[in-house]
Amino acid sequence: MALVDKLGAALDSSGGGIILTTVDSLADWARGKSLWSMPMGTACCAMELIAGSFSKFDFDRHGTFPRPDPRHVDVMIVAGTITRKMAPAVKRIYEQMAEPKWVIAMGNCAVSGGIFYYDSYSVIRGVDEILPVDVYIAGCPPRPESMQDAVFQLREKIATESIAPGKKREVEFSLPMPGAGVRGGDAE
């Protein structure tokens, strides 16, 4: 019943189990619930990215599984400083990813170059100079909870995309945010 509610579909009145939905809704639901990620940890933000995969935060329960091969992933998570020398390699890895693909910039260095941009000629001012970024996470380093929030924001973005190239679709629902109503200290 929860799947039917989230897709905005309805069961027939006799309770026969008929699900009415669109291919777009079904594809977006499946894509949003199984985001395989390419962790591109280049600096200290990578430690927080790694912490997200341990049992306390457990990104796996949200359907976000890290994979080492760019040909098998949907999301590249850039966590850390990108230098001019490293930029072509990062761009090449992104180009090896299959469509549809998304990018999350994690940490101040990935978002804007961070403190290193002003002290070094070799640091690029944010990964969005070389890749199209879908979600930004500020912080030095950001907490794993911020990474979880970014995954939920990306799911909301995916829900508005159509499987037809270049077409957006209207969405009549919003994904529930986990932990709604939970105070900061009660979440453990």
- Give me the chain's average pLDDT, please: 75
| Backbone φ/ψ region at 131: left (φ over 0), alpha (ψ -120 to 50), beta | beta
Sheet hosting strand 65-66, strand order edge to edge:
65-66, 36-41, 75-79, 102-106, 135-137
Q: Are 76 and 37 in contact (CB under 8 A)?
A: yes
User: With a threshold of 0.85, does the pTM exceed it?
Assistant: no
Q: In the beta sheet, which residues pair with residue 168?
A: 161
Domain boundaries, the chain: 1-33, 35-163
Write down the pLDDT at residue 15.
57
Burial 94-111 (b: 16+ CB within 10 A, else e): beebeeebbbbbbbbbbb
Write down the pLDDT at residue 156.
83
Closest among 144, 176, 19, 30 to 79, alpha carbons compared: 144
What is the arithmetic mean of pLDDT over 67-89? 87
Report the C-alpha gap between 168 and 30 in whole angstroms: 17
More confident of the two residues 1 and 91? 91
What is the arithmetic mean of pLDDT over 14-25? 66
Closest among 143, 155, 177, 186 to 57, alpha carbons compared: 143
Write down the pLDDT at residue 167.
61
Report the C-alpha gap between 86 and 132 in whole angstroms: 17
Q: In 96-152, where do the E strands start and end?
A: 102-106, 135-137
Tell me phi and psi for residue 41, to 5 degrees.
-85, 115
Cα angle 70-72-73, degrees, rounded to a multiple of 5: 70
Instruction: Write the pLDDT tens digit of every residue in 33-59.
Output: 777 887 888 888 788 877 777 767 777
What is the arithmetic mean of pLDDT over 68-74? 84
> Burial level of 121, CB count in 10 A (0-12/13-18/19+)?
exposed
Instruction: Write the pLDDT tens digit of every residue in 111-147.
Output: 888 777 777 888 888 898 999 999 999 888 888 888 8
* CATH class label, 35-163: alpha beta
